[in-house]
Chains A and B, each alone.
Chain A
Amino acid sequence: MILEVKNLVGGYQNKRVLHGLSFSMGDGEVVGTIGHNGAGKTTLLKSLFGLLPPWEGQILFRSHDITGRKPDSNVKEGIAYMPQGQGLFPDLTVMENLEISCFGLDRKTLKKRSQQVFELFPILEERKRQRAGTLSGGEQRMMSVGLTLMHEPTLMFLDEPSLGLAPRIVQLVMENIIEINRRFKNSILLVEQNFEQVKRVAGKIIVIKLGQIVFSGILDPALDKRELWKYF
């Protein structure tokens, strides 16, 4: 198990959002997380990654307790997070974005890791002197995904990578995610609203409703949207 979450409770200041979530992820597994707006998906990822202190429960990464550990330690230990929305530095160039995401690593490593990102997303190499904020929506999302790869993570949390993108670009980004999983053999916890996309990418699926897991298990390819709706 790369990740085990036990009875996680969390939220903001005095607002309880997560009401005791438990699940686990195996090595190299892609787990899709779906749920309505406001269900607590983003809150879950933030709590797992250490951006929000969990109130109760336990998070184990490769059997080590990382509950409440700060993002900078998590990043160094190979956990990466792509936030919902703009997960990049719009006022820095593409190259500076990559450089800064490699913070604390040496030049050689930076070069190697940027090359990996450019292999996946050749368009970024063409635009490397351009300010990231001036890239198109799809390019910006590729940049965000690229940034999470800079520390060669073994566990990635991706928050709605398809959000706000045209259908054609969504296809592309999802293929990139499949390719990343294939190439680096890392585990990915993918939050999505788009059920069709989750079905393509994820093996296992978690459905969250009002801060609770209402379904979790292997995805039946025959399972269609209507059937899944009953869990909502």
Chain B
Amino acid sequence: MDLLLQLTINGLSMGSIYLLLGISWGLIFAVTRTFHFAHGATFVVAAYSAYFFQQLGFSLILAAVGSVLAAVLFGMAVEGILYRYLRKAFASHLVVFVAAIGTLITVENLIAMGFGTDVKTLEGFPIKVIKIGKVGFNNLHVVMFATAGILFFLLMLYLHRTKTGKALRAVISNPEMAEVIGIDTRKYFLLAFALGSLLVAPAAFLVTIERGATIDLGHWAILYAFMPVIIGGIGSLPGAALAGLIIGLAESIGIWKISSQWQVGIAFVVLVAVMILKPTGLFGFRVYRGKI
């Protein structure tokens, strides 16, 4: 019982990271229908700029702020320069997909050239182990869970209560109609990239604190951004959030019995199982459209 509780706590803390990856990529996809695989690049940009700012002598908090800014600028640049251009040229989904993967690989390599391939760590987070009975966890896990929960709550509040948030939901719901009523969809595409990049930066920052940053994190991140969205149902952000937590739990409880090198495999098993039982995902009503 204690073990199960322990694994649940571990699962929820990693699940919080998957939650952030899922809702950030899911928001961008729902609004723009772009297979933004360069989201992984945004993730490494966020991780390495946090490291960079700390090397410059900034505090951990300022490094976090810098990393969010860098991620937002990078995400907006990819949309504003690359995707917008491709859309204008009527590029097919495949072309966009290849361009996005190319961006991911290029950015990873450029960062490797600039920073080297060794593990980069962030200093200054005062890790404290908290023990309740036989169950132990640390304050970083709490921060992960709280960050994900608060950001998800704020995103929902923003989408449902503000004018621009409602406009984003309108674009998700019916993009042609959004244009018809006079919404400049290009602006909202850019906004979606800004928000999505803003949401992924804290995940990158927390992962870097926990286990350090390496360049291949970009590939890892895009995998775990994509899976919650498919499992939760395309277009459903609460679905992606819940699916992120479920993947975290499944992996954590799974490696109780299975060797941890199969961790990614467990996530895929969840993915395939959901796809067989409910092809539209847990909350997706239709492909490309759903409850936001």
Contact (A13, B177) CB under 8 Å given A72-B184, A75-B182, A91-B169: no
Q: Report if A90 contacts B (CB, 8 A).
A: yes
Among listed B194-202, B220-228, B284-292, interface-contacting one: B284-292
User: Do B166 and A75 touch (CB < 8 A)?
Assistant: no
By size class, the interface of chain A is 20 to 34
Scan residues 125-139 of chain A and give those whose CB is less than 8 A from a CB of chain B: none
User: In the complex, what's the smallest C-beta–C-beta distance from B284 to chain A, in angstroms?
Assistant: 12
User: Which of A13, A70, A90, A101 is within 8 Å of B181, CB to CB?
Assistant: A101
User: Do A89 and B177 touch (CB < 8 A)?
Assistant: yes
User: Do B90 and A76 touch (CB < 8 A)?
Assistant: no
Q: List B contacts of A86 (CB < 8 A).
A: 174, 177
User: Do A91 and B166 touch (CB < 8 A)?
Assistant: no
Chain A contact residues, majority secondary structure: loop
Q: Report if B183 contacts A (CB, 8 A).
A: yes
Contact (A13, B90) CB under 8 Å given A75-B182, A103-B182, A104-B182: yes
User: Which of B90, B163, B182, B291 is within 8 Å of A71, CB to CB?
Assistant: B182
Q: Report if B176 contacts A (CB, 8 A).
A: yes
Scan residues 261-292 of chain B and give those whose CB is less than 8 A from a CB of chain A: 289-292
Closest 3 CB pairs of A and B: A75-B182, A72-B182, A91-B173
User: Do A83 and B176 touch (CB < 8 A)?
Assistant: yes
Chain A CB count within 10 A is highest, among B170, B172, B178, B290, for: B170
Q: How far is the CA of A50 from the CA of B90 in the complex (A)?
A: 18
User: Do A75 and B290 touch (CB < 8 A)?
Assistant: no
Known: A87-B180, A91-B169, A103-B182. 4 other contacts (CB 8 A): A72-B182, A75-B181, A89-B170, A90-B173
Among listed A21-29, A92-100, A206-214, interface-contacting one: A92-100
Using a CB–CB cutoff of 8 Å, the interface residues on chain B facing chain A are 90, 163, 166-167, 169-170, 172-174, 176-184, 289-292
Contact (A100, B167) CB under 8 Å given A86-B174, A90-B289, A92-B173: yes
User: Do A87 and B179 touch (CB < 8 A)?
Assistant: no
Q: Report if A61 contacts B (CB, 8 A).
A: no
User: Which of B167, B177, B290, B291 is within 8 Å of A103, CB to CB?
Assistant: B167
Contact (A89, B174) CB under 8 Å given A71-B179, A71-B180, A103-B183: yes
User: Which of B166, B174, B177, B182 is within 8 Å of A99, CB to CB?
Assistant: B166
User: Do B176 and A91 touch (CB < 8 A)?
Assistant: no
Residue on B nearest A81 in the bound complex, by CB: B180
Over the window 98-122 of chain A, the binary record of Cβ atoms lying under 8 Å from chain B Cβ atoms (1 yes, 0 no) is 0111011000000000000000000
Scan residues 69-85 of chain A and give those whose CB is less than 8 A from a CB of chain B: 70-72, 74-76, 81, 83
Q: Report if A147 contacts B (CB, 8 A).
A: yes
User: Do A51 and B166 touch (CB < 8 A)?
Assistant: no
Q: How far is the CA of A82 from the CA of B166 in the complex (A)?
A: 20
User: Do A91 and B184 touch (CB < 8 A)?
Assistant: no
User: In the complex, what's the smallest C-beta–C-beta distance from A76 to chain B, in angstroms?
Assistant: 7
Q: List B contacts of A173 (CB < 8 A).
A: none
Q: List A contacts of B183 (CB < 8 A).
A: 72, 100, 103
Q: Report if A48 contacts B (CB, 8 A).
A: no
Sampled A-B contacts (9; CB under 8 Å) = A72-B184, A81-B180, A83-B177, A87-B180, A89-B174, A91-B291, A96-B166, A100-B167, A101-B181
